[in-house]
């Protein structure tokens, strides 16, 4: 009697693709809603950091606002107050704040 229970029933085989279809759908949804937007944000951040110029107003990851007074390949010199300059790695810059200062006026 145990042999009958172990035998697969006819028509019960769903096929290999039907078994993996929900997993494939979840992976596709995960890609379009999680991975792809993150890659887009990383590209935009890289483009922003490459195009930083003297005179730009920026915000650092640490929350300091400053004005770019000099740039090199990997670092930026920021003026955070009158006669107060700091050297910051470009990867620590978040965004350009020049549009924010004009909106507050």
Task: Flag whether pLDDT at 2 surpasses 80.
Answer: no
The reply to whether 101 and 60 lie within a common domain is yes
The reply to whether 23 and 46 lie within a common domain is yes
Q: What is the pLDDT of residues 22-76, one digit of tens each?
A: 899 999 999 999 999 999 999 998 999 889 999 999 999 999 999 999 999 999 9
The reply to whether 65 and 91 lie within a common domain is yes
Q: Which one, of 102, 105, 97, 41, lies nearest residue 64 by Cα? A: 97
| CA contacts within 13 A on the Cβ side of 51 | 8
Supply the pLDDT for residue 95: 80
Query: Model confidence at 78, in pLDDT bands (50, 70, 90)?
Result: very high
pTM: 0.61
The reply to whether 95 and 62 lie within a common domain is yes
What is the SS3 assignment for 8? coil
Domain of residue 73, CATH code? 2.30.30.100
Does 3 fall in a domain?
Answer: no
Final residue in a domain of this structure, among 27, 51, 75: 51
- Which residues, 6 or more positions from 98, have their beta carbon under 8 angstroms from its beta carbon? 56, 57
Angle value at C-alpha 32, between 46 and 30, nearest 5 degrees: 110
What is the span of the domain harbouring residue 76?
53-105
Spatial distance between the Cα atoms of 94 and 86, rounded to a whole number of angstroms: 16
Task: Flag whether pLDDT at 87 surpasses 90.
Answer: yes
């Amino acid at each position: 009697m145990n042999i009958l229970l172990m035998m697969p029933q006819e028509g019960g085989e769903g096929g290999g693709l039907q078994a993996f279809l929900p997993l494939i759908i979840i992976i596709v949804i995960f890609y379009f809603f999680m991975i792809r937007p993150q890659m887009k944000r990383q590209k935009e951040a890289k483009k922003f950091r490459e195009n930083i110029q003297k005179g730009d107003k920026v915000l650092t990851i640490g929350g300091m606002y400053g004005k770019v007074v000099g740039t090199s390949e990997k670092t930026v010199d920021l003026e955070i107050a009158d006669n107060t300059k700091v050297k910051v790695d470009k990867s620590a810059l978040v965004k350009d704040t020049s549009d924010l200062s004009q909106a507050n006026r």
